Amino acid sequence: MKKNGVLNKDISEVVASMGHTDMIMICDAGLPFPSGVRRIDLAITKGVPGFIQTTEVIADELKIDHVIVADELSTVSPHILMELRRIFNNVEIESIPHEKLKELSQKTKAIIRTGEFTPYANVILVSGVLF
């Protein structure tokens, strides 16, 4: 049995397969999934697991070059943006229109769906490199 880190087999597999500039997305319960992108559905009920909690765990596992959020996050759910700034305090946070974020989600290796019910609680993590 794995002692620590991500215990979910599907998430561990995707994170281990990430190369420089590959992308993975963590989303709220309502984001539509593009066809052809791997879906890792963690949602159990409203708020479980939470978006921030899930993001923190994955941020500990993955070298992140930068993150991408929707422009709308700063006005609709600023507390989520504040938490992302805390988690990614030394990482660039790029902001793009929500429609473009949904288009970009089609290029991710996987999308991890949480039980989050906060609007625009979606983030794309762009993998960095350790050397």
Catalytic residues: 20
- What is the C-alpha separation between 23 and 8, in angstroms, rounded? 18
Is residue 65 within 8 A of residue 126, CB to CB? The reply is yes
Structure tokens at 107: 């290029």
Is residue 26 within 8 A of residue 54, CB to CB? The reply is yes
CA-wise closest residue to 120 among 55, 67, 74? 74
Is residue 41 within 8 A of residue 10, CB to CB? The reply is no
